[in-house]
Amino acid sequence: MISGIKVGGMTKASAVTLLRQYVRPPEKISIIAKNRSFELSLKDVNSYNLEQTVETAFYFYRTGNLIKDNYDRAISPFSIQNIPVKTNINEEALDQYLQVISTQVSTEPKFPSVSIKENEVLVDKGSAGEDIDTVFFKKTLETRLASLNYSPIELSFNKNDPSLSEEEAKIFKTRAEKFLGKDLSIVYEYQTLVIENQSILSFLDLKQEFNQEKINDYISRDVSPKLNHEPQDAVFGFENGKVTEFLPSKEGVTVNEKGLVQEITKSLRVLETSEEKNVSIQAPVQTARPKITNEEVNNLGIKELIGRGVSKFRGSIAPRIHNISLASSRFNGVLVAPGETFSFNKTLGDVSSFTGYKQAYVIRDGRTVLGDGGGVCQVSTTLFRALLNTGLPIIERRAHSYRVGYYEQESPPGLDATVFDPTTDLKFKNDTPKHLLIQTIFDAKTSALVFEIYGTSDGRIATTTKPVVSSVVPPPEDLYVDDPTIASGTTKQIDYKAWGAKVTFNYKVERGGEIIFEKTFLSNYRP
């Protein structure tokens, strides 16, 4: 028999003809799920292979084993063999159908999560979800179709419950609270990527200490795209004593994500089990050399990056931003010969409306007033920081008369440098045996200015101590001054209170364990 249809003693062709009369499935069958009914089009997911079914039945007693075949024939009158019809299930179409139903009847599990609100840790315990048991359904469907049973099929569900118990939630919260106010940073060369507190908390996992998959996803999404880059070949153009085009050679970088997962996991353990507030990780990377290096495109000794300085100018008015961009461009591509004393003012040139500068606030005669070139000191301050990082002798530098908020964005006080031609300059000496090249990077999007100094490293190492603030003096009371240029009764704030203080730090340059020179910088800010 085939699915209850007697075909014994028939030829193959006759059996196929008979099956065609009986195997007439309906267009659709019903699928029941949570008191809802769905219809499954059978022609889309199945076709019967009657010829192969008959072939299987024909050879049921013809295996080639005479003893077995004779035995099966002998007992066949007492044991009826019922062979199922051969089905051809379209798995892809069936999966698509189940996916459509699943979106309507399945529920996604909600995984436990931690959030911070007003410096308090909140734990969401999560909730259970359930999804269609597709394996059981497919097996049931195939069995039903093979036996020509087209009755409704009720779906069964698999439950997925990742939620926490009350006790687990308490443990989770206790762990999370250990990370409040703590930072984890990934550092590579001059880039620092800070992993925010919320991301750190998302790595917590009761089952495996820290969720390696989430850490890996974070690296792939937020770290690798920012650090990875292809090798960059050097480009060098030189004309009339100035570098007209320069692209430094750079090694290609690829983050070792597996290694970084391990480093982050180690650092998370440190943050959780100690009083450490800040932990930095050096990103493990693989590097690839460029085809053309710096020394291959010039004979001036412009070989490598030897120093870098950064300042931020968030909150600057548009004219000030314009002036910073214009003034910094005057230094891009400037070469400093061996033994030369570099003057900021000489390189900058005239600062006036005639040379493209706009009016922005400057410090003049102890007051903040509008003047051509407001913002130029952002440029001199950034160069000063690059010189400190490079380890060059700084011949002349003067701090501002009072503290300016721009120069303390992501920086301690005391690292600024003011200029005003012809009385106040920033000067340094190139005491290396090779030329130095100054490159500037102006980034309006991040409100950042960068000075990079290229040359040939002679092994010197520059260090600066943390600036020490002393003799702090509170600012005076607000001062109101009549201004005939604004409407009567209108108040316009042009400056902000600043505390007076003395700030000192030590600058030391060494090579091979010997001190080349050292110097103490003093900034005396009035309130």
Per-residue pLDDT at 79 exceeds 50:
no
pLDDT band at residue 194 using 50, 70 and 90 as cut-offs: very high
When pLDDT is averaged across residues 313-338 and rounded to a whole number, the result is: 94
* pLDDT in the model for residue 116: 86
Residue 188 has pLDDT above 60, yes or no: yes
Mean pLDDT, rounded, for 413-418: 97
* Number of domain units in the chain: 2
| pLDDT at residue 8 in the model | 74
Does a structural domain hold residue 352?
Answer: yes
For the segment 431-444, the average pLDDT, to the nearest whole number, is 95
**Is 207 part of any domain?**
no
Which residues have C-beta within 8 Å of that of residue 270, sequence separation ≥ 6? 276, 279
Identify which of 310, 349, 312 has the alpha carbon closest to the alpha carbon of residue 327: 349
Q: Looking at residue 490, what is its pLDDT?
A: 81
Q: Is pLDDT above 80 for 88? A: yes
- Residue-wise pLDDT tens digits, 459-480: 999 999 999 999 999 887 777 7
pLDDT band at 496 (very low <50, low <70, confident <90, very high): low
Using pLDDT thresholds of 50, 70 and 90, give the confidence band for residue 71: very low
The answer to the question of residue 488 being in a domain is yes
What pLDDT was estimated at residue 80?
Answer: 53
What's the CATH code of the domain at 98?
Answer: 3.10.20
pLDDT band at 367 (very low <50, low <70, confident <90, very high): low
The residue type at 401: S
User: For the sheet containing 36-41, what is the strand order?
Assistant: 36-41, 28-33, 153-154
d(CA 350, CA 73): 113
Percent of the chain with pLDDT over 90: 65
Residue 285 placed within a domain: no
pLDDT at residue 366, as a whole number: 63
329 with 476, same domain: the answer is yes
Per-residue confidence (pLDDT) for residue 495, from 0 to 100: 65
Tell me the CA distances in angstroms from 420 to 120, 313, 344, 356, 388, one per residue in order: 50, 20, 10, 17, 21
Average pLDDT of span 114-137? 91
- CA distances 109 to 102, 129, 159, 163, Å, are 13, 4, 9, 8
* Residue 50: φ, ψ to 5°: -70, -35
In a domain? residue 286? no
Q: How far is CA 475 from CA 402, 492, 496, 525, in A?
A: 10, 19, 10, 11
Give the mean model confidence (pLDDT) for residues 375-402.
97
Predicted pLDDT at 78: 40
3-state secondary structure 343-381: EHHHHHCCCCHHHCCCEEEEEECCEEEEEECCCHHHHHH
| pTM score of the predicted model | 0.65
Domain termination residue (choose one: 119, 144, 160): 160
Beta bridge partners of 130: 107, 159
- 3 state DSSP class of 225: helix
Highest mean pLDDT: which range of 66-75, 166-175, 420-429: 420-429
Mean pLDDT value across the chain: 89
394/387 Cα distance (integer angstroms):
7
Residue 472 and residue 479 in contact, taking contact as beta carbons nearer than 8 Å: no
Whether the per-residue pLDDT at 369 is higher than 50: the answer is yes
Q: Considering the domain boundaries, does residue 259 fall inside one?
A: no
Within 46-160, where are the H helices? 50-58, 66-75, 91-105, 134-146
Asked if residue 85 lies in contact with residue 124, where contact means CB atoms within 8 angstroms, the answer is no
Side-chain half-sphere exposure of 157, counting CA atoms within 13 A: 16
Average pLDDT of span 135-155: 94
**What's the confidence (pLDDT) of residue 486?**
78
Query: Lowest-pLDDT range, 47-51, 271-275, 361-365, 509-513?
Result: 361-365
Domain that holds residue 104: 12-110+129-160
User: How far from 37 is each of 32, 34, 40, 134, CA to CA, in Å?
Assistant: 5, 8, 10, 17
Query: Is 336 a member of any domain?
Result: yes
Report the C-alpha gap between 258 and 213 in whole angstroms: 11
Least confident of 353-367, 404-418, 475-489: 475-489
Q: Name which of 90-99, 240-249, 280-289 the model is least confident about.
A: 240-249
Q: Is residue 19 in some structural domain?
A: yes
Residue 63 has pLDDT above 60, yes or no: no
pLDDT band at 493 (very low <50, low <70, confident <90, very high): low
Q: Is the pLDDT of residue 293 over 80?
A: yes
pLDDT: which is higher, 202 or 497: 202
| Inter-helix orientation angle 318-329/376-390, to 10° | 50
Give the contacts of 279 (CB within 8 A, at least 6 positions apart).
182, 183, 184, 185, 267, 270, 271
Of the two residues 23 and 80, the one the predictor is more confident about is: 23
